[in-house]
Amino acid sequence: MPTQVHISLTRIGLTWPNGAECLTDITATYGPGLHGVIGSNGSGKSTLARLLTGDLEPSTGFVRVPGRVSILRQDLGISSSTSVAELLGIAQILQAIDAVARGDVAVETFETIGSDWDIAERAEAELHRAGLDDVALDRLVSTLSGGQAVRVALVGLRLAHAEAVILDEPTNNLDGPARAQLFSFLEELRQTTPTLVISHDRELLNHCATISELRPASPHSSASTLTHTPGNLSEWEEAAAAAEAVAQRHLREAEAAFAREKRERIAQQTKQLRDERRGRKFQENHRKPPIAMNNDKMASQISAAKTRATLAAREQAAHAQLVEAEDSLRNDASVYLDLPDTAVGHGSTTLELQLIEDQQPHDGDVLGTEERHVIVTGSEHVRIAGRNGSGKSTLLRTIVEAHGPGPHLPTVYPGMERTYQVVRRITPVGYLPQNIELEPHHTVLDVVAAANPGATEQRLRDDLARLLFRRDRVFAPVQELSGGERFRVALARILLSAPAPKLLLLDEPTNNVDMATVDWLVGALDSFHGCLVVVSHDEAFLERIRVDRTIELSPADRSPSGGEASDHS
């Protein structure tokens, strides 16, 4: 029986060149199976992946991994000139095969090929298996949708036959069929290959055998440590909730103990002041000789000082226990925001879409009336659904770029079989794209104030506090924020703008954000009273925000050399 391979981390620590600690005292072992890694944005999840792949060396401790480690990165490690063959990891082999065909007989060339003379055929077969028949090996990845690019990268993992696999947010941009392919692939790996999944996807994490959480080593530490527990996400959440209940009980006990010690100290001080007044009055009446009274006074002062020191020490110890109890809480706060100006009239038309007349459905594919002519009314929550590359992001941009209420023909994007034109839409419109751009040197308060110049600083700070940007955090520059915080700033800018949006468009809002930020998003949307249109493959998120109807887009008919490069859903 072959020896099982493992990933092993022993007392790992990482300190950046500027002296800032990132990771501390991380110890874990991962055998064959699926292992989830969770944590807030900025906690070091992707940094941990770089340690495992050898891109980074730890400052302390030891990392042991199998010889062949493959990783699916969030950004896929691609540029505008990356080809499908490069993303698959087979470009050098194909170049070596071409070189041999031209007469190259160098040893190094044959070593590059190894036994992979049929790699092109195997790659094309795997692309076909993944439903990517029209994706040629020389095609640029920039011409694919985001979901298609992820599926190509997953095909590359199949071809690599890695001994360990790391997946960084693998479900981002994946539609239903592609998610099913991913889960099938992970099921194949489960028996033999240690597989770490960095994710916030609840469905995926509930397939995991263990959950590792990266969180601050202490409330005042910039470094994260890791807790490694058996079970899937639901089991981890149950254990975390039980631990939080214990922590809350300890906090109540510590608060009571601190209050008791404080009362005893105050009572002792009151008694001491009363005794001192009595002593002075006794001395004034000359009831004892001066020497005796001075001795009594000195003894009383010594006794009182000892009592004060004892009570102060007990109060200080109780306060330390209170601080420790407070620090043990997870501090997961909820969002409350009042946005009455986002409300729209019940029954009023907020969005009207019309399928362009010269477009024809597939043979045997009959479109219903609702699909040809879509009217969204009031504060409906609408989901735009469809396969990767079907034009969901393009439709959102079409809605954004329509110039207020119609009827008129706004700009539409070519390339889809079924393209909607916007006949009418309500204003104002708020739009949160997948790629968020904020001025890096502006503060949180600057960003929001620019969208609502008539609001006072205090009002904006109050609203930002309700969105969990508290105290001096509102003065933090965007470039110093975590990914989750930048996401929250971008949505806060929209929700707190003047005039307030009555139509809100969100494009894959849960991609690349942690579970705490998803919870924050759900809370913020609870305060929004207008019409919501969202593109998302995150079924758990969609269940939490209420979806009233779904507009289904058909897959686009892409040619091997082209496609809609900017549509990443």
Residue 283, pLDDT score: 61
Query: Is-contact 184 174, C-beta < 8 A?
Result: no
Residue 336, pLDDT score: 63
The SS3 assignment for 355 reads strand
427-451 residue pLDDT tens: 899 999 988 888 989 999 999 999 9
316-339 residue pLDDT tens: 888 877 777 766 666 555 566 677
What integer is the mean pLDDT of 48-54?
89
Residue 370, pLDDT score: 41
Share of the chain above pLDDT 70, in %: 83
Query: Is-contact 496 525, C-beta < 8 A?
Result: no
Residue 222, pLDDT score: 72
Residue 268, pLDDT score: 80
Residue 358, pLDDT score: 46
Choice between 284 and 476, residue whose per-residue pLDDT is larger: 476
10-14, 109-113, 233-237, 410-414: least confident range: 410-414
Q: What is the mean pLDDT of the chain?
A: 80
Lateral strand order in the sheet of 164-168: 60-64, 7-15, 21-30, 224-230, 210-216, 33-39, 194-198, 164-168, 69-72
SS (H, E, C) 407-439: CCCCCCCCCCCCCEEEEEECCCEEEECCCCCCC
Query: Is-contact 186 11, C-beta < 8 A?
Result: no
- Taking the C-alpha atoms of residue 468 and residue 336, their distance in angstroms, rounded to an integer, is 9
What integer is the mean pLDDT of 308-312?
79
Residue 366, pLDDT > 50, answer: no
- Stated as kind and residue range, the H or E segment containing 367 is none
What integer is the mean pLDDT of 267-276?
77
Residue 59, pLDDT score: 93
Residue 27, pLDDT > 90, answer: yes
Residues in contact with 396: Cβ distance below 8 Å, sequence separation at least 6, in sequence order: 384, 431, 433, 505, 507, 533, 535
Phi, psi dihedrals of residue 485, rounded to the nearest 5°? -70, -40
Instruction: DSSP for 78-124, please give it.
Output: --TT-BHHHHHT-HHHHHHHHHHHTT---HHHHHHHTT-TTHHHHHH
Instruction: Work out the number of other CB atoms within 10 angstroms of the CB of residue 54.
Output: 10
Residue 397, token pair as written in the block: 């941009």
* Residue 20: pLDDT band with limits 50, 70, 90: confident
What integer is the mean pLDDT of 508-527?
83
* Residue 218: pLDDT band with limits 50, 70, 90: confident
- Stated as kind and residue range, the H or E segment containing 136 is none
Choice between 395 and 251, residue whose per-residue pLDDT is larger: 395
Residue 68, token pair as written in the block: 């062949």
Residue 566, pLDDT score: 40
Residues in contact with 429: Cβ distance below 8 Å, sequence separation at least 6, in sequence order: 399, 400, 501, 502, 503, 504, 505
Residue 212, pLDDT > 70, answer: yes
Residue 218, token pair as written in the block: 């202490």
- Taking the C-alpha atoms of residue 555 and residue 324, their distance in angstroms, rounded to an integer, is 55
What integer is the mean pLDDT of 49-60?
90
Query: Is-contact 332 240, C-beta < 8 A?
Result: no
What integer is the mean pLDDT of 295-305?
66
- Stated as kind and residue range, the H or E segment containing 336 is none
Residue 541, pLDDT > 60, answer: yes
* Residue 359: pLDDT band with limits 50, 70, 90: very low
Residue 96, pLDDT score: 92
* Residue 372: pLDDT band with limits 50, 70, 90: confident
Choice between 431 and 554, residue whose per-residue pLDDT is larger: 431
Q: Which amino acid is at 97?
A: I
104-141 residue pLDDT tens: 888 888 988 888 898 899 899 988 888 888 888 988 88
Q: How far is CA 97 from CA 108, 117, 137, 451, in A?
A: 12, 7, 14, 57
Residue 384, token pair as written in the block: 């735009």
Helix, strand, coil: what percent of the chain each, to 5? 45, 20, 40
Residue 83, token pair as written in the block: 């080809």
Choice between 398 and 176, residue whose per-residue pLDDT is larger: 398
